[in-house]
Amino acid sequence: MTDDWTAYWDRREAMEGKLWQAQCDFFVDRVRREIPLGPDDILLDIGCGRGYTAAALAPGLRAAHGADTSLRALEEARRRCAGRPGLTFHHLAPDAYLDIHRLPVRDVSVIFCVSVVQYYKNIGEVRTLIANAKKIAAPGCRMLLADLLVDYNQCLDVAGVLLGGMESGTFCAKLGEVFSGKHRLYGRTRAEHPVLTMRRAEFEAVCAAENTRLRFIRRNLTGNRFRTHALIDILPVVDAC
Ligand SMILES: C[S@@+](CC[C@H](N)C(=O)[O-])C[C@H]1O[C@@H](n2cnc3c(N)ncnc32)[C@H](O)[C@@H]1O
């Protein structure tokens, strides 16, 4: 039995590699054109990895928070961003990673969760994440679930990764990863812990059940044009007192 996904992402092999910065630069450039961000915004980046996205966006925001289950990723993010104002990184316990409402983060106006949901166990967890997002959301909060494996086709997905590499000038680095130990470990983990794929109708039903408004973003945000990106309007929970 291999590690589960949270353990995989805490391993050195998973966290090393030259592509993190380049992929986040690509995402940040694209997402800025889709989701206007300004000095009143508070961002929470769930599954922030080594923190490149939160760090790139923080200077234009009121505050930016990154959260991740991987202590290894957080260590790197905190080391690189030490002393940067308005930028904080938080640990999500691997056995309670949906509990974003327990983080010391409130009035969040933008939530990103990029290339993370595929490591969840089932679609019920996606619903719980949205429900918990409501507990920390400011009015008008937008939640971006990006890189979703909706109506997934593995051959198209691999093609998407390589085409995206050409588009972003990272083709050789991506090909290198395909032949690396990191990729073999990923494959072994995936064989025992399948990534979460969803039918579009199932995903829409979850968003509707949580009473959110959903729209799909057509622009390629993450370098794989065959992945799905969903922008959800989150209505905060009003405390009944
Ligand atoms: C593919 S990386 C994406 C990192 C970053 N969002 C990006 O786009 O570069 C997946 C990240 O999600 C984190 N992760 C995996 N499972 C998670 C979970 N259940 N909850 C929160 N973070 C998780 C991993 O530790 C890793 O940093």
From CA 226, how far away is CA 152, in angstroms rounded? Answer: 8
Residue 113: closest CA among 31, 41, 209, 33: 31
Query: Per residue in 42-72, is it b (16+ CB within 10 Å) or e — as a string?
Result: bbbbbbbbbbbbbbbbbeebebbbbbbbbeb
Could you tell me how far CA 173 lies from the centroid of its own chain? Answer: 21
Annotation: CATH topology of 19-151+196-234: Rossmann fold (3.40.50)
Give the pLDDT of residue 142. Answer: 98
pLDDT at 139 > cutoff 60: yes
Give the pLDDT of residue 119. Answer: 98
pLDDT tens-digit map of 55-94: 999 999 999 999 999 999 999 999 999 999 999 999 999 9
Closest ligand 1 atom to 113 CA? 6
Residue 16: closest CA among 93, 65, 70: 70
From CA 207, how far away is CA 184, in angstroms rounded? Answer: 34
Enclosing H/E stretch for 20: helix 19-34
How much is the pTM?
Answer: 0.95
SS3 217: strand
- Domain locations along the chain: 19-151+196-234
In the reported structure, the alpha carbon of residue 217 is separated from the centroid of ligand 1 by a whole-number distance in angstroms of: 20
Give the pLDDT of residue 10. Answer: 95
Give the pLDDT of residue 1. Answer: 54
Contact 161, 186 (CB under 8 A): no
pLDDT tens-digit map of 10-20: 999 888 877 88
- Around Cβ 23, how many Cβ atoms within 10 Å? 24
In the reported structure, the alpha carbon of residue 123 is separated from the centroid of ligand 1 by a whole-number distance in angstroms of: 17
What is the rounded average pLDDT for all residues in the chain?
93
pLDDT tens-digit map of 202-219: 999 999 999 999 999 999
Give the pLDDT of residue 53. Answer: 98
Please tell me the residue having the least CA distance from ligand 1 atom 22. 47
Please tell me the residue having the least CA distance from ligand 1 atom 1. 115
- Residue 145: pLDDT band (50, 70, 90) is very high
Q: Is 92 in the pocket of ligand 1 (CB under 6 A)?
A: yes
